[in-house]
Chains A and B, each alone.
Chain A
Amino acid sequence: RKEVEQDPGPFNVPEGATVAFNCTYSNSASQSFFWYRQDCRKEPKLLMSVYSSGNEDGRFTAQLNRASQYISLLIRDSKLSDSATYLCVVNRRGSQGNLIFGKGTKLSVKP
């Protein structure tokens, strides 16, 4: 089993749609969870951290279920500028700085 697994995508959605990405991780000792965004041929950038209680940042909502080792990202009212690959990221065995990246889910928002 891969350490971090994500929906393969791609997701093709119209503007204004709500889209959800799922991610599972294999190491129950992981303590930190994040979503990164990577635009085509660019470097990854932190989108948001994921907290146990769930957290929201504007149109983006992240949730964590430790029992199921499952992380999600919900994007409401999709914009064209949301088109990118979304990477689920987990730290390995609680060790700071050793982040494991999922393969990413590609999102394409169409007019």
Chain B
Amino acid sequence: DTAVSQTPKYLVTQMGNDKSIKCEQNLGHDTMYWYKQDSKKFLKIMFSYNNKELIINETVPNRFSPKSPDKAHLNLHINSLELGDSAVYFCASSFTGSHTGELFFGEGSRLTVL
């Protein structure tokens, strides 16, 4: 069973389109995250939700809107896609207060904007 699953794995789309990436975790974690890894391989946090509440919101354009219907799901919707949005988007989850620092990542969703 996949612990953190994201769909789709690959997404190729035109500039200006709107797209969504879904994420689900079956680990019983209460915190979920979205990270972006750009072409330079720099992995940067975008959002974090704890029990459906937004707790971290980095400097991300408001074209990016996360939604957490429940603590096992965190979806990412992107409006008006731009070339610079091309990247791999990783969903992750963890327990709040976990001192192991272990984030469990999904396999990533590779977005290419043409």
Contacts and interface: CB of A to CB of B under 8 A. Distances in A.
Nearest to A34: B101
Interface stretch (B14-22, B59-67, B78-86, B103-111): B103-111
Interface in A59-111: 85, 87, 89, 91, 96-101, 103-104
B96 to A, nearest CB: 7
B96 A97 contact: yes
Contacts of A89: 101
B93 to A, nearest CB: 10
B34 to A, nearest CB: 13
B45 interface: yes
Report the contact-size class of chain B (Cβ under 8 Å from the partner): 20 to 34
Nearest to A101: B43
A103 B41 contact: yes
Interface residues of A, number: 21
Contacts of B90: 43-44
Contacts of B99: 32
B56 interface: yes
Given A97-B48, A98-B48, A43 B107 contact: yes
B112 to A, nearest CB: 14
Interface of B: 31, 33, 35, 40-45, 48, 50, 55-56, 90, 94, 96-103, 105-108
6 contacts: A32-B101, A33-B101, A43-B106, A49-B101, A97-B94, A101-B42
